[in-house]
């Protein structure tokens, strides 16, 4: 099987006309403006942004170029004044939680950690219907929360558990569906980098978001588990023998070191011992300690490589943030979110219709971009409207995060799907069919999260992390 | 050239590790100083670490600027490549080149703006609030980092124009697990190479 085939990369016979779309999108606003046609600035900005993005350049660069082009051609504002934002955009201590969380996750993103989580999950739930599949959901939820990376979760848990499942007689599709979707749980269960991004873009409390993610995170894991259980029972898939309590205790003790990372972060923030950024730094040191001295999965000589990889990933995200801050500054100074809010109210759109609109837009965006970029671009636009309509900021954040999870599990950019395709040697199309029962579960769950706010905000409110509504 | 590569890698790894240690020490210090241990408490209270947050921010801003340049070399920057990955290879090649050159242009503009900015504040006596470092030193990373990034874009564009290959970023490498993802599977977050007329 050629690797290119399932992805549908263009060949010499592919149509050439789509290449004109970006050119038209970029040219129209400039030509219209120069010709003196009155046209709303919002349209110009978005046409430029979409045009530049479609050319495939890095998202950070297209955001920055949109701002520069707009200022240069359309306004008399000196570029220097906005460019100042480029320098000061990321000077916030809250943002620095992102590199720390990435570092912590990278220390524990290791096959050894994955094995311990699988053993623990398997001892706890393996004897129910669904057996290893159910254990896979639980192991993914645990590992994803600790490692912070969805694709890495799919690789780590998937490469160990999928061959075992196939050997036991599960169809390959079943296993692939379970792992691809469960791997996405990580961005809902704290600590979550996407939540920090949302918090930064909207000035929401990171702590409240993390606490708010717990209940929906567990609920979604439960829903995916139920889907697995129900389908396994119907088809009578193999189950594991019941594990003894001694076995459960042993596997629990092995995996607890990794899981304590979540406790350090949540406990530290909730009790007020740490700020979120400090909690992130402490979790990075803790993860280093566990990986090197407790689990001994990683030799000390690997540490520089982990530092370099983490720095690489963090710098990429920080670079998008820098440019997104500049872009959202442009949006605000052009009053675009306010205009959108006014237009929505004028149309008589209430919170229900607005949230439907938000979900559709985000699901569409999930087709072409990865979660961090979507949150950084969309949150500053949608958030002010949501506030006008009286939607809770924390609840709105959780809606966005659940949306991002759905996007990671379907083509064309669902990273989890690509990674799963690499492990299972299944084509993308076949995998897309394999994941649909779980994807459907996620979509139903998304509707519940959207229209039933207590699911998200009950816990932080009860714990006093948010003001009374 | 090798030297520059290593310097870049060494610098960003160091900044990452230093920032982590710094915040760790600051937090431990804050709590240890709260315990009434004779001798130790007095010694700890004398050390003032209030500047740690500010230094952490600067370390990470420097890491972000140089790391972004390193990221161009490793191909980690994500984009929207759904459309161009479906174009015929020769047309795609034009777009990938356009994207890389746009990156070079943008970073060159930012680098120049940054250089002017640094030049201006170097003539003022502006210092950072806690560390009292001259601001121009703090912001020096903007022109230097941006020009380096511009250079990396040109480097990648040059080699792409000649070989049709792009830096390959491994999306999901996990230590302790064999690489299972063939390198030529890239989701549409990165442009596909056009080597030999087919991807």
pLDDT on residue B122: 84
Q: How far is A468 from chain B (nearest CA, A)?
A: 31
* Cα–Cα distance for residue pair B190/B71, rounded to 1 Å: 13
State pLDDT tens for residues B34-53.
Answer: 777 777 777 887 787 888 98
Residue B79, beta-bridge partner list: A58
Nearest to B63 by CA among B73, B75, B74, B55: B55
Query: For chain B, how many residues are written?
Result: 199
- In this complex, do A109 and B191 lie within 8 Å of one another by their Cβ atoms? no
List chain B residues with pLDDT less than 70: 171-172, 179-186, 195-199
What residue in A sits closest to B25 (Cα-Cα)?
A282
Question: Which residues make Cβ contacts (< 8 Å) with residue B125, sequence separation at least 6?
Answer: none
State pLDDT tens for residues B8-43.
Answer: 999 999 999 999 999 999 999 888 887 777 777 778
* Cα–Cα distance for residue pair A26/A66, rounded to 1 Å: 10
Of the partner residues B71, B80, B109, the one whose CB lies closest to the CB of residue A368? B80
pLDDT on residue B183: 47
- In this complex, do B68 and A155 lie within 8 Å of one another by their Cβ atoms? no
Task: Return the number of other C-beta atoms located less than 10 Å from residue A377's C-beta.
Answer: 23
Q: How far is A236 from chain B (nearest CA, A)?
A: 30
Q: If you ran DSSP here, which 8-state letter would residue B127 be given?
A: B
Please report, for residues A15, A273, A416, B35, the alpha-carbon distance to residue B31 in angstroms, rounded to integers and kept in the order given: 65, 9, 41, 7
List chain A residues with pLDDT less than 50: 1-6, 469
SS3 at position A110: strand
Chain A interface disruption, residue of B23, B88, B96, most A CBs within 10 A: B23
pLDDT on residue A151: 86
pLDDT on residue A6: 41
What residue in A sits closest to B11 (Cα-Cα)?
A308
SS3 at position B175: strand
Task: Return the number of other C-beta atoms located less than 10 Å from residue A170's C-beta.
Answer: 24
Nearest to A337 by CA among A42, A17, A8: A42
Task: Return the number of other C-beta atoms located less than 10 Å from residue B130's C-beta.
Answer: 13
Please report, for residues A124, A327, B21, the alpha-carbon distance to residue A333 in angstroms, rounded to integers and kept in the order given: 54, 10, 39
Contact A219, A455 (CB under 8 A): yes
- In this complex, do B57 and A96 lie within 8 Å of one another by their Cβ atoms? yes
A362: tokens are 């985000």
Backbone phi, psi, residue A297, to 5°: -75, -30
Contact A279, A195 (CB under 8 A): no
Q: Which helix (H) or strand (E) holds A131?
A: helix A131-147
Chain A interface disruption, residue of B152, B187, B193, most A CBs within 10 A: B187
Q: How far is B107 from chain A (nearest CA, A)?
A: 8
Nearest to A139 by CA among A191, A175, A91: A175
- In this complex, do B103 and A79 lie within 8 Å of one another by their Cβ atoms? no
What residue in A sits closest to B97 (Cα-Cα)?
A57
Contacts of A1 in chain B (CB under 8 A): none
What residue in A sits closest to B58 (Cα-Cα)?
A91
Q: Tell the burial category of B123 from Cβ atoms under 10 Å away from its Cβ (0-12, 13-18, 19+).
A: exposed
Q: Which helix (H) or strand (E) holds A308?
A: helix A303-333
User: How many whole angstroms from its chain centre is CA A316?
Assistant: 15
Omega of the bond prior to B96 within 30 degrees of 0, cis?
Answer: no
For B40-108, the three-class secondary structure string (H helix, E strand, C coil) is HHHHHHHCCCCCHHHHHHHHHHHHHHHHHHHHHHHCCCCECCCCHHHCCHHHHHHHHHHHHHHHHHHHH
- In this complex, do B106 and A154 lie within 8 Å of one another by their Cβ atoms? no
pLDDT on residue B180: 61
What residue in A sits closest to B136 (Cα-Cα)?
A87
A224: tokens are 């995916």
- In this complex, do A111 and B176 lie within 8 Å of one another by their Cβ atoms? yes
Contact B166, B158 (CB under 8 A): no
The residue whose two tokens read 């939540």 is A195
**What is the number of alpha carbons within 13 Å of residue A82 lying toward its C-beta?**
26
Contact A427, A355 (CB under 8 A): no
Nearest to B9 by CA among B70, B77, B74: B70
Contacts of B9 in chain A (CB under 8 A): 308
ipTM of the modeled complex: 0.92
* Cα–Cα distance for residue pair A159/A422, rounded to 1 Å: 10
Contact B106, B187 (CB under 8 A): no
């Amino acid at each position: 099987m050629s690797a290119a085939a399932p992805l549908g990369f263009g060949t010499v016979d592919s149509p050439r006309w789509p290449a004109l779309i970006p050119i038209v999108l970029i040219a129209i606003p400039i030509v219209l403006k120069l010709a003196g046609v009155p046209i709303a600035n919002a349209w110009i900005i978005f046409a430029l942004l979409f045009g530049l993005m479609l050319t495939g350049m890095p998202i950070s660069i297209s955001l920055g170029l949109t701002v520069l082009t707009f200022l240069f051609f359309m306004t008399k504002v000196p570029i220097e004044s906005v460019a100042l934002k480029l320098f000061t955009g990321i000077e916030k201590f809250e943002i620095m939680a992102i590199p720390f969380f990435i570092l912590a996750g990278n220390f524990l993103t290791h096959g050894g950690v994955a094995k311990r989580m699988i053993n623990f999950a398997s001892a706890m739930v393996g004897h129910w219907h669904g057996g290893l599949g159910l254990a896979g959901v639980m192991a993914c939820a645990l590992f994803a929360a600790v490692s912070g990376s969805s694709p890495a979760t799919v690789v780590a848990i998937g490469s160990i558990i999928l061959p075992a499942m196939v050997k036991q007689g599960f169809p390959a599709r079943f296993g692939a569906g379970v792992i691809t979707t469960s791997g996405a749980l990580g961005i809902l269960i704290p600590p979550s980098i996407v939540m920090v991004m949302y918090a930064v873009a909207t000035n929401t409390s990171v702590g409240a978001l993390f606490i708010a993610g717990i209940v929906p995170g567990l609920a979604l894991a439960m829903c995916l588990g139920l889907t697995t259980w129900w389908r396994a029972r119907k088809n009578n898939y193999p189950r594991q023998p019941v594990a003894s309590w001694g076995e459960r205790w042993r596997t629990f003790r092995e995996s607890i070191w990794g899981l304590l990372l979540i406790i350090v972060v949540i406990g530290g923030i909730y009790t007020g011992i740490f700020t979120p950024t400090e909690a992130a730094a402490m979790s990075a040191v803790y993860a280093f300690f566990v990986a090197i001295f407790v689990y001994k999965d990683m030799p000390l000589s690997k540490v520089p490589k982990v530092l370099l990889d983490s720095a690489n990933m963090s710098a990429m995200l920080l670079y998008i943030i820098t440019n997104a801050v500049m872009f959202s500054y442009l949006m605000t100074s052009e009053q675009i979110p306010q205009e959108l809010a006014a237009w929505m109210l004028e149309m008589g759109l209430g919170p229900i219709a607005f949230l439907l609109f938000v979900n559709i837009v985000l699901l569409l965006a999930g087709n072409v971009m990865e979660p961090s970029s979507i949150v950084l671009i969309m949150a500053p636009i949608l958030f002010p409207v949501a506030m006008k309509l009286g939607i809770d900021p924390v609840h709105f954040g959780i809606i966005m995060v659940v949306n991002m999870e759905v996007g990671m599990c379907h083509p064309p950019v669902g990273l989890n799907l690509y990674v799963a395709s690499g492990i299972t040697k299944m084509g993308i199309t076949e995998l897309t069919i394999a994941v649909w029962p779980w994807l459907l579960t996620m979509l139903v769950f998304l509707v519940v999260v959207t229209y039933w706010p207590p699911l998200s905000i009950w816990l932080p409110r009860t714990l006093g992390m948010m003001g009374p509504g | 050239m090798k030297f520059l590569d290593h310097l870049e890698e060494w610098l960003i790894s160091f900044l990452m590790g230093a920032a982590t240690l710094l915040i760790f020490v600051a937090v431990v210090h804050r709590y240890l100083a709260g315990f009434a241990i004779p001798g130790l408490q007095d010694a700890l209270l004398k050390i003032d670490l209030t500047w740690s947050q500010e230094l952490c921010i600067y370390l990470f801003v420097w890491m972000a600027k140089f790391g972004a340049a390193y990221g161009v070399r490793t191909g980690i920057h994500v984009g929207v490549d759904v459309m161009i990955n479906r174009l015929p290879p020769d047309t795609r090649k034009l777009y990938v080149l356009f994207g890389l050159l746009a990156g070079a242009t943008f970073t060159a503009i930012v680098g120049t703006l940054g250089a002017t900015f640094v030049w201006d504040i170097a003539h003022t006596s502006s210092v950072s609030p806690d560390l009292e470092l001259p601001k121009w030193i703090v912001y020096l990373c903007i022109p230097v980092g941006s020009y380096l990034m511009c250079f990396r874009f040109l480097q990648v564009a040059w080699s792409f124009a000649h070989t049709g290959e792009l830096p390959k970023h491994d999306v999901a490498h996990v230590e302790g697990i064999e690489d299972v993802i063939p390198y030529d599977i890239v989701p549409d977050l990165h442009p596909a190479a056009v080597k030999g007329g087919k991807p």
